Amino acid sequence: MKLLTPAILVLSLLASGAQAATLKIATLAPDGTSWMKLLREAAAEIKTETEGRVNVKYFPGGVQGSDKSVLRKMQIRQLQGGAVASGAFAQIASSTQLYSLPFTFRNLEEVRAIREEFDPYIIQDLAKNGYVVLGISEGGFAYLMSNKAIRTSSDVQDRKVWVPEGDMISQTTFENGGVSPIALPVSDVYTSLQTGLIDTVAVNPSTSIALQWHTKLDYATDYPLVFLIGMMVVDDSAFKKFSPADQATVKRVMAATFAKMDAQNEIDEAGARQALAQNGIEFVELTEADKTAWQALAKGAIAALADKNVYPVDLYKKLQQRLIELRQAK
């Protein structure tokens, strides 16, 4: 019996370490979307490959509240993770705002070329603050959509413009253009469009349809304002409870899933734009002079954001240099 005791102890410890654990991850993404379907497939694959040691449970559709609420619940351990907009991390790691500055990118090709070099900066910065990045997703380009045609910055000054709650970049950009935007959580936007509290939003086509905002709007300014980035992060302390092998499995499966999501999102965005046009949304074309004026406005906003330390200035300059090189190489 004395000889068996150590063996029994070891077996009991191994059994304890093999108990299933659940990552509770919240997101604003509505259930039933292609995004959520892919994430659920990833959860099933992770459960199978880890033999049930890692379970991923999603809370879609904003049932856990805004991105800000999700991060707060992660801090008090009610949630282990969240799939949130990059703006949610503005106060945590400024590098997360690199891709979200106005008029930085001209097309998706530029975004993908830049990401290969600059995603690691974001991942490392969040790791220093206790977060494991399981994926960075391409949300597509956001366009100004309103119930009135907008061509110039003066056109937007009499609009009731929505900005996401806590989004310093959007807030500063519009304020720089003489607009006093209205900050609201995403969950309040549809009702606010109905009541007239707001009448203008910056949103990508597929989200405008998924959340039914397009039904309250008539025009889209056909000039991409900003590229939207989302991130799935989990609390480092929760993630470290898994074995190194299981951690590697989760990261590998999620990386492959986010690559599929980016490819699918590109298709969805193209289809959503076509659907908006078919449903009566008029895309307002801008002259080159209009575009130049918007660029000048953005330049002022970016300078103001630098003064507020919203993004890492030196790293953004490096990103801009890479874009210049990409454009010159064409």
Per mean pLDDT, which range of 12-26, 48-62, 94-108 is the poorest?
12-26
pTM, two decimal places:
0.87
Mean pLDDT over residues 56-81, rounded?
Answer: 94
Nearest-angstrom CA–CA distance, 281 and 144: 12
Answer for the pair 61, 31: CB distance below 8 angstroms, yes or no. Answer: yes
Pairing of β 226-235 and β 131-146: antiparallel
Residue 14 has pLDDT above 90, yes or no: no
Instruction: Report the percent of the chain where pLDDT is more than 70.
Output: 94
Check residue 52 and give left, alpha or beta (phi > 0: left; psi -120 to 50: alpha).
left
Mean pLDDT over residues 116-139, rounded?
Answer: 96
Closest CA to 228 of 108, 61, 55, 52: 108
Query: pLDDT confidence of 17, banded at 50, 70, 90?
Result: very low
Per mean pLDDT, which range of 19-33, 111-125, 218-232 is the poorest?
19-33
Those residues whose C-beta lies under 8 Å from the C-beta of residue 199, and which sit 6 or more positions away, are 146, 147, 148, 159, 160, 193
Answer for the pair 101, 75: CB distance below 8 angstroms, yes or no. Answer: no
Answer for the pair 219, 75: CB distance below 8 angstroms, yes or no. Answer: no
pLDDT at 6: 43
Closest CA to 35 of 271, 260, 323, 327: 260
Check residue 172 and give left, alpha or beta (phi > 0: left; psi -120 to 50: alpha).
alpha
pLDDT at 310: 93
Nearest-angstrom CA–CA distance, 308 and 168: 9
Residue 111 has pLDDT above 70, yes or no: yes
Check residue 166 and give left, alpha or beta (phi > 0: left; psi -120 to 50: alpha).
left
- The better pLDDT of the pair 117, 20 is held by 117
Query: pLDDT confidence of 19, banded at 50, 70, 90?
Result: low
Q: What is the pLDDT of residues 262-301, one digit of tens each?
A: 999 999 999 999 999 999 999 999 999 999 999 999 999 9
Q: What is the pLDDT of residues 175-234, one digit of tens each?
A: 988 999 999 988 899 999 999 999 999 999 999 998 999 999 999 999 999 999 999 999
